[in-house]
Homo-oligomer: A and B are copies of this chain.
Amino acid sequence: MITLEASSKTPIYEQIIEGVKALVMMGKMHPHEQLPSVRRLARELGINPNTVQKAYARLRGENLIYSVAGKGDFVADNASRIRDMKRDEIREMFIAATRAARDAGMWTDEIFQLVDEAYSSR
């Protein structure tokens, strides 16, 4: 369910974090649902368990998942706030892109058209 891009410059553990967030946000995983075990996911992705461990630790640090000793990791109850966090990130993306566009001499019309196309594509 999670796919990695080996040649990408974003670290694997971050790709895993984003992958989990995406699954929850798209409703493919729900609060209190169990995540694949560290070792299992590592095996499936063909990577080092330490890397998965690091990703889960970060997710735990953000209180997006919780651990139950001896049982495994589960999606947290408050996982719905992922949506808000994601929106904040996206806001920043648009702000940065818009400033760059303005500096490059693009007008808002051009941007709106671009967004429209991208939104309805694929």
Contact = CB atoms under 8 A, between A and B. Distances in A.
Q: Give the size category of A's interface with B.
A: 35 or more
Contact of A99 (B89, B94, B100, B118): B118
Given A7-B66, A11-B69, A94 B108 contact: no
Interface of A: 6-7, 9, 11, 22, 25-26, 58, 61, 66-69, 83, 86-87, 89-91, 93-106, 108, 111-112, 114-116, 118-119
Q: List the number of copies, as a whole number.
A: 4
Contact of A111 (B25, B89, B96, B115): B115
A115 B98 contact: yes
Contacts of A98: 114-115, 118-119
